[in-house]
Amino acid sequence: MYQTAPDFPAAESVLYNSPLGILILEADEAGLTAVRFSPEQAPDTAVRPGPITTRAAEWLDGYFSGSCPEPDFPLNLKGTPFQKEVWAILQTIPAGKTMTYGEIARILADRRGIDRMAAQAVGQAVGKNPVCILVPCHRVLGQCQRLTGYAGGLERKKALLTLEGAEFLFDSN
């Protein structure tokens, strides 16, 4: 099932077959660096299982079975200081709860002692999240709790929020 390739860039890599499609999990020596949905076609990604990606896959097993276990492995998020600040806020949103881009922008503005921050800037940082599901960018909604934006597709975002029992508005148009 696992293939290895000496030139594969990640120290660890696993393909995880989730109910929403294949996830690619990658880690380096410092922690989990990426969890992303694979393109719709079958991936030809070589894999190298290791302790971090194995524990992340086990966490995902628990998550998709309806529990929200605490991650017991390190994350190594690579991004700008602003992105990391946004991602840290995402990690405080409990399962089944949501925040809007505007609410996160207000938190950041308050921290900086400024009147306002653009929700669009928050949206761009959320969209760059390298570790979907574990850094729960799917819990961020647009104005009036509307389902908007998700790199994995709105149907997946809807499914994740439904799994968690979160309330949101979904326009099927």
Residue positions annotated with a catalytic role:
137
According to DSSP H, which parts of the chain are helical? 51-64, 81-90, 101-112, 119-127, 154-164
DSSP string of 92-107, one letter each residue = TS-TT--EEHHHHHHH
Instruction: Give the CA angle between residues 92, 117, 81 to the nearest 5°.
Output: 55
Cβ atoms of residues 91 and 135 within 8 Å: yes
Single-letter amino acid, residue 122: V
Listed residue (27, 23, 121, 42) closest to 80, CA to CA: 121
> Is 85 buried (19+), middle (13-18) or exposed (0-12) by CB count in 10 A?
middle
